[in-house]
Structure 1
Amino acid sequence: MSAVVARIGKPHGLRGEVTVQVHTDNPDERFATGAQFATEPDRGVLTIVGTRVHQGVWLLQFDEVPDRTAAEALRGTRLVVDEDEDDDEDAWYAEELVGVEVRDPAGTAIGEIVALHVRPAQDLLEVRLLDGRTGLVPFVEEIVPEVVLGGAEGDEAEPEEAEGGQYVVVDAPPGLFDLES
């Protein structure tokens, strides 16, 4: 299975640079010169020859993309890696989290995850509560101490077959869900 590390946005300039929406916790290491990525949909392997951050936006340049026209053709393409090669055990992807039940520390269902917002400082889980309100939860260990997306460690069962199902525990500080999102 592959994991998305970035999604290519619009071209930047005339020499083939593209903006990317980052989906990795470690872009400095992930986007090192020479790094190669498979693409979805398949547009071949892309090799990074340059990176920079411009006004808070990551810009990548690929060896295979010589100009703006080629860069425009990549818009919407996802850069992916094989999850077996992904060494960040605490990394979660939107595809894994959306739709997962949210529980309080006592185990009571309080809602479900509707989105993962990747931000430079910290990621946020968007949670739809059982009463229909939504709230943003900082995706940090102090507030989200447990993420269960499968069986016990080493268990090969599919997540939906795992005992207790998939869930995320949110130990929300008082008033967190009373704030406007």
Structure 2
Amino acid sequence: MILGRIGAAHGLRGEVRIEVRTDDPARLAAGTAVLTDDPLVGELTVARLREASGRATISFEQVTDRDDAEAMRGLLILAPAQAEADAWYPEDLVGLAARGDDGRPLGTVVEVRAMPAHDVLVVREPSGARTFVPFVEAIVPGVDVAGGFVVLTPPGGLLADEPLPEGEDVDEDGPVGDGPEDDGPEDAGHEDVEA
């Protein structure tokens, strides 16, 4: 599970900016062990997490100077897998079946992408369409790595293969607001797939 992404060094004593990706600050409390996605860095112990002016900074017991802090820029901070039974890493999700909450097949997770607001699952639907599904609890309420699937409750129009709810406006090209000119970097959407 991704807890955050390390940004630029801050100060001279090893503190770094952090993009926090967890709703539970206790996961980054002082004394907590975390992992990074770089095996050479391995496990770190949080010394302090603080927020000021809307920005978060973190320091680790093992990092005490600016040079080491700069070398970690861009690394992901991960929860240790043993810390909780339902923890997972992005690579664990690739290949999982995507199902509706009623069990209907919706596709396969082919990638997990880090986006500014939250991660997205890239799901290849049965038709071959690749769709960005926001990886938030309201849309992905269940992840069962051992069982080999994720549960999706997508809003109407998110998945290319799913029918729109009754009364939804459509035009000749699909749902209103679903054209390529409306896709922003944080929007869920579809990728064109060559036949």
For the pair 1:95 / 2:77, whether they are aligned, the reply is no
Contact 1:49–1:63 (8 Å) recurs in 2: yes
| Unpaired runs of at least 5, structure 1 | 152-165
Tell me which structure has the larger Cα radius of gyration.
2
| Unpaired runs of at least 5, structure 2 | 160-174, 189-195
Q: TM-score, normalised by structure 2?
A: 0.60
Q: Any residues of structure 2 matched to 1:113-152 within 5 Å, and which?
A: 113=109, 114-115=111-112, 117=114, 124-129=120-125, 130-137=127-134, 139-140=136-137, 143-151=139-147
Q: For 1:105 and 1:58, how far apart are their aligned partners in 2?
A: 36
Match of 1:109 among 105, 110, 113: 105
**RMSD (CA atoms):** 3.4
Seen in structure 2, the aligned counterparts of structure 1 residues 5 and 173 have a Cα distance that, compared at 3 Å, is closer
Q: For 2:77 and 2:150, how far apart are their aligned partners in 1?
A: 27
Q: For 2:54 and 2:91, how far apart are their aligned partners in 1?
A: 25
For the pair 1:174 / 2:171, whether they are aligned, the reply is no
Matched residue, 1:36 = 33
1:11-45 CA-to-partner distances (Å, cap 9, x unmatched) read 1233321133445442x112212323455424365
Match of 1:17 among 8, 15, 24: 15
Match of 1:68 among 66, 75, 88: 66
Contact 1:127–1:137 (8 Å) recurs in 2: no
Seen in structure 2, the aligned counterparts of structure 1 residues 25 and 119 have a Cα distance that, compared at 3 Å, is farther
1:77-132 CA-to-partner distances (Å, cap 9, x unmatched) read 55455422x13x45443222122121234544322222154776x76434333332
Identity %: 37
Q: For 1:44 and 1:94, how far apart are their aligned partners in 2?
A: 17
Q: TM-score, normalised by structure 1?
A: 0.64
Residue 111 of structure 1 aligns to a residue whose secondary structure is strand
**1:8 shift after superposition:** 3.0
Contact 2:4–2:21 (8 Å) recurs in 1: yes
